[in-house]
């Protein structure tokens, strides 16, 4: 019998809710440095499927972002019916350090933002593996100063 394919992703959450006087939330995405051995968190993201309801509680994620001094985003996503496949479109709102407007962005724009976080982490020399990075980090030479 195979257990890996159809496991219940909410089993732990449901287990946790059975007990009084404890509390938890899930964090949907911790964008982190892509370099093995560094893995520093670069941003926190709460995600929700875009149903037209653009509200989701972000209190704890914002709190953690402030403590870690990393950006926090709220991201609503849905399938891009024009492009098709696994492509998504987004409506995003920055939560921290500024509380921004909800804005519609493309898949390419969101990926570009996330890649820029990686570049900035490296270029500002925050990466724990910055000495090893030249051989592994996929940036052009003009990005490396």
The residues of the shown chain that bind Zn ion, judged by CB under 5 A, are: 33, 35, 38, 40, 127
DSSP-assigned letter for residue 133: H
Of 70 and 74, nearer to Zn ion (C-beta) is 70
Smallest distance from Zn ion to CB 132, Å: 10
One DSSP character per residue, 50-117 reads: -SS------HHHHHHHHHHT--EEEEEEEE-TTT-TT-EEEEEEEEESS----EEE-HHHHHHHHHHH
Smallest distance from Zn ion to CB 39, Å: 7
Smallest distance from Zn ion to CB 99, Å: 27
Contact 94, 110 (CB under 8 A): no
Of 45 and 127, nearer to Zn ion (C-beta) is 127
Smallest distance from Zn ion to CB 45, Å: 18
Of 125 and 142, nearer to Zn ion (C-beta) is 125
Smallest distance from Zn ion to CB 128, Å: 6
- CA–CA distance from 104 to each of 24, 51, 57 (Å)? 30, 14, 20
Cis before residue 18, ω within 30 degrees of 0?
A: no
Of 38 and 123, nearer to Zn ion (C-beta) is 38
Q: Which two tokens stand for residue 59?
A: 């209190």
Of 56 and 129, nearer to Zn ion (C-beta) is 129
């Amino acid at each position: 019998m195979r257990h890996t394919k159809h496991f219940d992703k909410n089993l732990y959450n449901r287990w946790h809710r059975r007990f009084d006087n404890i509390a938890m939330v899930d964090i949907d995405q911790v964008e982190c440095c892509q370099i093995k051995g560094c893995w520093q968190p670069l941003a926190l993201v709460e995600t929700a499927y875009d149903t037209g309801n653009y509200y989701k509680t972000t209190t704890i994620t914002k709190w953690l972002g402030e403590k870690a001094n990393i950006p926090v985003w709220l991201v609503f996503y849905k399938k891009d019916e024009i492009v098709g496949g696994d492509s998504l479109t987004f409506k995003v709102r920055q939560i921290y350090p500024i509380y921004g407007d909800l804005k519609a962005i493309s898949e390419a724009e969101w990926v570009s933002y996330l890649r820029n976080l990686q570049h900035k982490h490296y270029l500002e020399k925050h990466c724990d593996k910055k000495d090893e990075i030249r051989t592994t980090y996929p940036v052009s030479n003009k990005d490396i100063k």
